[in-house]
Amino acid sequence: MLFHADGRVWYGRRAGAAPPHNWQFPQGGVDDGEDLFDAARRELREETGVRSVSLLGRTEEWVAYDFPPEAAPNRKGWKGQKQIWFALRFGGDEREIDLEGHGVAEFDAWRWGRLAEAPELVVPFKRSAYEHVVRAFSQFS
């Protein structure tokens, strides 16, 4: 989760996803042997272009959700995901943000918004995970 200096958070609109639940935080996978924090920074850079960050905190526990049956064909046989979340403070200039800098764009638009609105913006099957991280990181907004 990327925090602006004023406490707002970064939202990306998923490319090709229909509204209204098509906004989310950057996320991604961990390569074999990769440190979790290194993976978080790499995924953030790949999806947003952002490099100028400092660590605010992380979840201690894994946050999990299941994919609904209608999403299963797109999920390579996975039942769901479990994630460690990192809260990062953006320290750069917004010109650093480049959604197309790493090949196919995951997001087609971005904006800063309030942390509390996150659970209503994301696809419903991720809502409980987003509620969890909103509680975990509310001190940074």
Whole-angstrom distance, CA of residue 11 vs CA of residue 130: 12
pTM over 0.85: yes
Q: Which of 48, 38, 31 is nearest to 105 (CA)?
A: 48
Q: Please report which confidence band the pLDDT of residue 73 belongs to, taking 50, 70 and 90 as the band edges.
A: low
pLDDT of residue 80: 87
- Report the pLDDT averaged over residues 29-41: 97
